[in-house]
Amino acid sequence: MRLARRTFGMRTVLAAPVALAALAAFAALVLSFSQTAPSRAAEAAVTSSAIVIECDRLFDGRSIRPEGRTRVLVENGKITALGPGIAVPAGADRIDLAGMTLLPGFIDAHTHLSYLWSDTTRAPTFVLDYLGSPIVMAFGAAQNAQKTLRAGFTTIREMGSPDGIDVALAQAIASGYTEGPRIITAGPIYPPGGGRTDMKWPADGTAATAEEITKKSREYLGQGCDWIKIYATMGTYDDTSGTPLYTSDEIRAAVEAAHPRGRWVAVHAMGLEGARRAVAAGVRSLEHGSRLDRATVREMARRGVYLDPTLYHMQWYSDHGAALQYSPGYAERLAALQKEQFASVRLAKQAGVAIACGSDAVYTMHGENAREIVWLTKAGLSPTEALRSATTVNASLLGLEGEIGRIAPGYAADLVAVPGDPTKDIEAVLHPAFVMKGGRIVTRP
C-alpha cells in the first residue's frame, strides 16, 4: 500500500500502549472543538460546490505560468481546470486575487507540533509546560496545527511526537474535528540518553540495538506512523557536536522494517560520519545535514536521498537562547553550525541532490514556517527553486507527487496566494492572503 493512499485515507490505529494516552487526549480535544470545527458532512458540503479563483499570476509548482491573469476551477476538493478563458459554472463562488500570485499549498517536511512553550521567560520543561500530561500537549499541538495551516502550509511531515499524539491529531484533522494541515507522521527512535532531556519526554522511542530498532519501528508502523525517524547523531538545541549515535547496520534495521510496508526512514544528522552511515543504510532523507562533504553529497544524489537542511531554526534557537537557558557560547556554536549547514546546501545543490523545505518548527516558531523558504534563498537557491522545494520537491519526498504540490487538473485543491510576485520578492511568502486546503477555504481576502 502506497504512502499516499494511506495518508489521504482514514488510518487504522492499533490500541497499543503508546497510542492509548493520545486517544484519551483527543477525546477531550474533540469536545473542545465540537462547537466550532466543521463536521465531515459540513466539510463535504463546502468542497462539493464549484469555486473559481482568479489571480494575476500563477506558480504551478514548477514556474510562473506565462499567460498572466488566469482562472482555476475547484470542484469537489480538486482542481478540475485552469486557464485564462475557462468557463465559470453557474452559481460558482468567485474569488478575485487581484495583485496576487496563486501557488500550491506549501508543504513543510519537518515540524514538531507538540513542542510547546507557554512561558518564554524560562526554559521549557515537560512538567511545567505540559503538566506531565499528553492531554495538555494534544491541545497545544492542535493550536499549532491551526497556526501552521493559516500560514499557508496545507501538508506537513511531523517529525517526532510522544504518546502517539501526531497520529491522533492527523486522524482528528482528517475527520473534520479540528483544523490543520494534512499530517504525515514519523515515529522517533533514539538511543537511551539521546532524547530531548530538556523536555523530559517519556522514553517511548528509545532503542539501543538493531533488534530493538526493528521492534520499535514495527510498533510505530503498526500504530499508524508513515515514517520512521532515527536520531543518527547528536546535535540539537544547545548541542552542536554531531557525534554519531548509531551504526549503518542499526540504521538499516529501521529501513528494512519500513520498506516492505511502503514506508521510509528519515535521519537526524548533524555530523558527517552519521550522515555517511545513514546514506549507506538506504534512508530517504537527511534532516539538517550539517558538515557534508563532496563524496557524501555525490552518494546522496546517486541514491536519491533528499536533503532537508532546516536552516532558519538555528537562527530561531540563537534568538531565544537566553530564555532557553543555553550554556555560555551558544550563539557562536549555533552560528558556526548554521554556516556548515549553508555549505552543505551548496555542495548538495552542485551535486544534484533534491533540496527539501523543512522549518523544524518548535515552540513559538509555529506559523513562521515560511521563513524556511526565505532562508533557502539565503543559502543559494533561487526564489523559484525555493518555491519548488516547498511544493513539488516536498511532494516527491513524501511520495505524493501525483496528488499535491502542483496546480494542475486532478490535484488536490491545496492553494495559497501571496501579494506580488514571490519569484521577485521571496518574502511575499510570509504574508499569505488566501489559503485553501482540499477545496475548503481557510482564509480569504
| Average pLDDT, integer, range 267-281 | 97
Residue 203: its pLDDT value, please? Answer: 64
Query: What is the per-residue pLDDT across 278-333, written as a single tens digit (0 to 9) for each?
Result: 999 999 999 999 999 999 999 999 999 999 999 999 899 999 989 888 889 989 99
Residue 364: its pLDDT value, please? Answer: 92
Whose cell is 494541515? That residue is 181
Residue 124: its pLDDT value, please? Answer: 81
Query: What is the per-residue pLDDT across 233-246, written as a single tens digit (0 to 9) for each?
Result: 998 767 888 999 99
Task: Round to the nearest angstrom and report the end-to-end CA distance of the chain.
Answer: 39
pLDDT for 198 beyond 60: no
* Domain range summary for the chain, segments of one domain joined by +: 41-104+405-443, 110-397
Average pLDDT, the chain: 88
3-state DSSP assignment of residue 431: coil
Whose cell is 469536545? That residue is 31
Structurally, at CATH architecture level, domain 41-104+405-443 sits in Roll (2.30)
Task: Say which residues have a Cβ less than 8 Å from residue 220's Cβ, sequence separation at least 6.
Answer: 187, 189, 228
CA 281/CA 272 separation, integer angstroms: 14
Q: Which residues of 90-116 are buried (b: 16+ CB within 10 A; e: fewer)?
A: eebeebebeebbbbbbbbbbbbbbbbb
For residue 46, report the phi and psi dihedrals to the nearest 5 degrees: -65, -40
The pTM for the full model equals: 0.91
Residue 305: its pLDDT value, please? Answer: 98
Task: Say which residues have a Cβ less than 8 Å from residue 32's Cβ, sequence separation at least 6.
Answer: 139
Residue 196: its pLDDT value, please? Answer: 53
Query: What is the per-residue pLDDT across 82-98, written as a single tens digit (0 to 9) for each?
Result: 999 899 899 999 999 99
pLDDT for 42 beyond 70: no
Query: What is the per-residue pLDDT across 10-28, written as a single tens digit (0 to 9) for each?
Result: 343 333 444 445 544 554 4
pLDDT for 46 beyond 80: no
Give the three cell numbers for residue 209: 540495538
pLDDT for 135 beyond 80: yes
Fold annotation for 110-397: TIM Barrel (3.20.20)
Residue 38: its pLDDT value, please? Answer: 42
Task: Say which residues have a Cβ less than 8 Å from residue 69's Cβ, sequence separation at least 6.
Answer: 54, 55, 56, 57, 84
Amino acid making up residue 36: T
CA 407/CA 392 separation, integer angstroms: 10
Query: What is the per-residue pLDDT across 398-429, written as a single tens digit (0 to 9) for each?
Result: 999 999 999 999 999 999 999 999 999 999 99
pLDDT for 201 beyond 60: no
Please tell me the total number of residues recorded for the chain in this structure: 445
DSSP 264: E
Q: Do 41-104+405-443 and 110-397 show the same overall fold?
A: no
